[in-house]
C-alpha cells in the first residue's frame, strides 16, 4: 500500500510539473519537413516531453469538471485511461534513445492509441449517464460544452502525434525507408499526411460509404453532383492534408444531408451537390442539399454535445455505424476542421435546404495546430456564469474564447509559441 501511495504521489507531482508548460503547436509543413528527413531519435526526444505536456494540460481540466459528472462510471473510466497513459509515457523521461528503448516507446504509443480508441463514445456515455441521473442546468451544460470542445481537440492532437511517429517508425508498416520510398501507406503519405491529398477522391469515398448506409435505411439514396469552381470536373484537386480528417468531416456531412433529403422527399430524391473551390488562402468544400433546411433556432444547437435530433443509440449498437446517434458528429467534425485552423459552418434556408462549408488552409505553413492550454485561470470557465439577457447576448463560448486570445495570460486554444521545455 505504501509503495502504491508513493507511485501515486510521484505521478501527481509530475502532472503538476508538466501542466505548467504550454503545448507546442506544429504546422502541417513542419510535420511534412520532419517526415521527409525522419529521425526516430529526434521524434522520441520531442514526444517524450510533448505528449506528457498535452496529457497533463487536459487532465488538469478533467479535474475541474462538475462533481456529478466526475462521479459517472464512464467518465471515471476515461480518467483512468489518461492517468495510466500519462504514467506510462513519463517512464521514458530519462531513458536514452537507444534502439531497444525506441522500439519499446513505439510499442507503448501503439498500446496507448488502442487504449484510447473508444474515448469519444465512452465520454459521450458519461454525459448520458449524467443527463439520466441528474438535472443539468444551463451553467453546467455550458461548462461541459466548453470542456468537451477542448478535450476532444486535445485528443485529436495527441493521436496526430502518435500516428505520425508510429506510421513513420513502427514495424507494422515497415521501416522508415519503406514509408519514404512509397512502399505501403498509400505510396506517397508522410505518416498520416498526404502531400497531394485529392479532395475530389475523398469526397467520392465518403459519399459512397454514406450512400451504403442510406440505402440500408431508406432503400434509396440521393446522387452526388461534384463540381469544381461551379462546373463539373473530373480533375483531381490536390492539397496537403490528412485524408482521414477530411473523410471524417465529409462522411458526417453526407450522412446528415442524406437523412434530411430522404425524410423530406418521396420518390426520386434530389442530388447532393459538392463544390470544390481553391482560393489563395482557403480551400472550400461546399456541400448543398435540398433536405428541407433547419430553423435558425436549431442551427447553433447542432454543435452542442448535449443535443441531438436523432434517437440515442443503445449500448448494443456499439459495433454498428448508425446513420445518426449521439449527436457528436457535427461538433467533432468542426474540431477536425479547426484543428489546422480551418472551420466548418452551416448555412440553412428553412423549407428548402442546407449548405455546409468546410474551410481548409491552402498553405501548409499556415495550417497550425489549434491546441487547448491550461493555466491558473482555467477554473473560472467551469463555474456557472449568470446569463445577462440583452440583444448582444449572442456572444457564445467560441466568441468569448476568441476575445481571450488577445491576452496571452488567459486560458485558450492558442497557436502561439509555447514555453521552452
Q: Which residues are catalytic?
A: 248, 252, 255-256
- DSSP character at residue 291: S
Q: Is 64 helix (H, G, I), strand (E, B) or coil?
A: coil
Rg (CA), the chain: 22
Q: Retrieve residue 355's grid coordinates.
A: 449548405
CB 288 within 8 A of CB 275: yes
Q: Is 408 helix (H, G, I), strand (E, B) or coil?
A: coil
> Rounded CA gap, 377 and 367, in Å?
27
Handedness of CA 221, 222, 228, 234 (dihedral sign): positive
Residue 164 CB coordination number (10 Å): 22
Residue 359 CB coordination number (10 Å): 19
> Rounded CA gap, 401 and 177, in Å?
43
> Rounded CA gap, 340 and 336, in Å?
8
- Give Cβ neighbours of residue 351 (< 8 Å, ≥ 6 apart): 292, 293
Q: Which residue's C-alpha cell is 529526434? A: 42
Residues belonging to the chain: 421
Closest CA to 40 of 240, 137, 179: 179
Amino acid at each position: 500500500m505504501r509503495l502504491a501511495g508513493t507511485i501515486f504521489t510521484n505521478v501527481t507531482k509530475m502532472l503538476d510539473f508538466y501542466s505548467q508548460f504550454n503545448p507546442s503547436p506544429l504546422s502541417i509543413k513542419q510535420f511534412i519537413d520532419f517526415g521527409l528527413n525522419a529521425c526516430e531519435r529526434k521524434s522520441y526526444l520531442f514526444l517524450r516531453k510533448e505528449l506528457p505536456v498535452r496529457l497533463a494540460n487536459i487532465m488538469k481540466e478533467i479535474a475541474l469538471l462538475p462533481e456529478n459528472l466526475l462521479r459517472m462510471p464512464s467518465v471515471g473510466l476515461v480518467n483512468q485511461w489518461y492517468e495510466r497513459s500519462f504514467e506510462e509515457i513519463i517512464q521514458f523521461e530519462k531513458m536514452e534513445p537507444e534502439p531497444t528503448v525506441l522500439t519499446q516507446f513505439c510499442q507503448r504509443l501503439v498500446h496507448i492509441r488502442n487504449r484510447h480508441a473508444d474515448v469519444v463514445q465512452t465520454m459521450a456515455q458519461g454525459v448520458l449517464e449524467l443527463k439520466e441521473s441528474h438535472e443539468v442546468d444551463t451553467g453546467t451544460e455550458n461548462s461541459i460544452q466548453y470542456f468537451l470542445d477542448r478535450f476532444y481537440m486535445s485528443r485529436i492532437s495527441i493521436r496526430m502525434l502518435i500516428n505520425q511517429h508510429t506510421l513513420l517508425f513502427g514495424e507494422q508498416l515497415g521501416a522508415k525507408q519503406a514509408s519514404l520510398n512509397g512502399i505501403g501507406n498509400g505510396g506517397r503519405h508522410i505518416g498520416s499526411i498526404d502531400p497531394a491529398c485529392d479532395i475530389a477522391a475523398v469526397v467520392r469515398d465518403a459519399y459512397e460509404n454514406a450512400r451504403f448506409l442510406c440505402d440500408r435505411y431508406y432503400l434509396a439514396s440521393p446522387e452526388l453532383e461534384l463540381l469544381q469552381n461551379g462546373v463539373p470536373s473530373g480533375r483531381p484537386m490536390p492539397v496537403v492534408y490528412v485524408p482521414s480528417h477530411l473523410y471524417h468531416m465529409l462522411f458526417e456531412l453526407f450522412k446528415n444531408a442524406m437523412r434530411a433529403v430522404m425524410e423530406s422527399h418521396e420518390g426520386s430524391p434530389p442530388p447532393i451537390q459538392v463544390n470544390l473551390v481553391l482560393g489563395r488562402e482557403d480551400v472550400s468544400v461546399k456541400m448543398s442539399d435540398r433536405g428541407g433546411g433547419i430553423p435558425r433556432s436549431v442551427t447553433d444547437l447542432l454543435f452542442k454535445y448535449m443535443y441531438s435530433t436523432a434517437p440515442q443509440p443503445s449500448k448494443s449498437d456499439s459495433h454498428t455505424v448508425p446513420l445518426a446517434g449521439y449527436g457528436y458528429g457535427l461538433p467533432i467534425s468542426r474540431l477536425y476542421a479547426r484543428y489546422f485552423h480551418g472551420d466548418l459552418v452551416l448555412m440553412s434556408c428553412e423549407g428548402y435546404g442546407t449548405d455546409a462549408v468546410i474551410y481548409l488552409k491552402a498553405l501548409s505553413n499556415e495550417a497550425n495546430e489549434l491546441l487547448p492550454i491550461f493555466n491558473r485561470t482555467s477554473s473560472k470557465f467551469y463555474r456557472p456564469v449568470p446569463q445577462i439577457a440583452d440583444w448582444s447576448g449572442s456572444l457564445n463560448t467560441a466568441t468569448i474564447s476568441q476575445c481571450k486570445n488577445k491576452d496571452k495570460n488567459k486560458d485558450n486554444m492558442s497557436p502561439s509559441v509555447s514555453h521552452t521545455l
